[in-house]
Chain A
Amino acid sequence: MHTVYIFLTGPMVWVSLLILVFGLIGKFIYLTSMAKKRDPWIFNYFQFKYAIKSILIWLVPFATMNMRRNPVMTVVTFVFHICLIIVPIFALAHVIMWEEAWGISWWTLPETVAVTMSFLVLGGILFFIIRRMKLPEARYVTRVQDYFILLIVALPFLTGLLAYYQIFNYQLMIILHVAAGHIMLIAIPFTWLSHLLLFPMLRGYVGSEFQGVRNVKDW
């Protein structure tokens, strides 16, 4: 218990963060070199102005046509992503551990809020699963990997809640929780979870082409 916990909350954090950062950098380099081959003109008409505008607009709920067309999906998606990103960064226990390790700390969520947000993440995942199973157009493009990714994202939150409430064996649960977090971080560059990088790249690409070349909105 001691050795495993100390390894997972110590050296392994470096391993996961390095894989995450260098994995994403590698992915970025790979994608831009692909673009150079397939669509080299993008580098001529790419403009930060349009890229940023497109990214920002797509980050505002209901700002795009697509979002207005699917209001339920839009609400669930936004709530899900906000909770997914905020909880790990501002969870009290996480910040305490940063502080103990590096002496740096920042604002934290009240525990009840963090717990509620974790339930919202799990609720969102449940919604996505049901949607993929029930909606014909979603079912048609769903592969097994898509469920697998939802599982990878669900596990840190599920085990986090079980550890928080100390349900089942706490020592096992806290180890599973930390391990699940590492799996998710490491999975990001190699799965669809890398859309955290692909999203701004795609918006920059499409935004520059639509706003700059075709002179139409891309939202």
Chain B
Amino acid sequence: MPKKLAYLMGAIAITVFFLAPALYSQTDMTHVIEDAYPSKERPPSVFPHDEHTYEIAEEFDLDGMSDCYFCHHYDGPDQDHMDMSVGIPCSDCHPVDPVDPDVTALTMAYHELCKGCHIQEKAGPIACGECHVR
């Protein structure tokens, strides 16, 4: 019995060891893999997701960015409410080719969000090839 118990505890320990980082991080994404485009012109953009919500948010004192709704907003940015859209892809609300001119198109949505902040912070990539790395 003790042997089986030892195995069980060992298994639990290993599981926890490997799961722990996953519990702490939202996703291990390194690139924005966007499949809403019928065809793509550029390589996927580099995007260290969790580095943004943790390290970069902290280092650059970007309090908002540790809140998921900062990017995963529901009614657009600068809203009073903090509804989250985590789990809903950007492309669900920002079509590649929106019919409604008031809706921000997908590529612009990404560029405005990402580049906008990088320009403001004077840090992070702003030229095409710095994000769309070959």
Interface of A: prevailing SS: helix
With A and B bound together, what is the CA distance between A163 and B115 in angstroms?
A: 19
One of A165-173, A186-194, A199-207 at the interface: A165-173
Q: Which residues of A contact B111 (CB under 8 A)?
A: 96, 100
The answer to whether A171 and B41 touch across the interface, beta carbons within 8 angstroms, is no
Chain A interface bracket (under 10, 10 to 19, 20 to 34, 35 or more): 10 to 19
Q: How far is the CB of B115 from chain A (nearest CB, A)?
A: 7
The answer to whether B123 and A174 touch across the interface, beta carbons within 8 angstroms, is no
The answer to whether B107 and A6 touch across the interface, beta carbons within 8 angstroms, is no
How many contacts between A and B, using CB within 8 angstroms? 35
The answer to whether B134 and A2 touch across the interface, beta carbons within 8 angstroms, is no
One of B16-24, B25-33, B83-91, B124-132 at the interface: B124-132
Q: Which residues of B contact A166 (CB under 8 A)?
A: 129, 133-134
Residue of chain A at shortest CB distance from B118: A2
With A and B bound together, what is the CA distance between A83 and B65 in angstroms?
A: 44
B112 at the binding interface (Cβ < 8 Å)? yes
B12 at the binding interface (Cβ < 8 Å)? no
With A and B bound together, what is the CA distance between A163 and B111 in angstroms?
A: 19
The answer to whether B126 and A6 touch across the interface, beta carbons within 8 angstroms, is yes
Chain B residues with CB under 8 Å of chain A are 41-42, 107-108, 111-112, 115, 119, 122-123, 126-130, 133-134
Given contacts A110-B41, A171-B127, 7 further A-B contacts (CB under 8 A): A2-B122, A5-B126, A100-B108, A111-B41, A164-B129, A170-B127, A174-B129
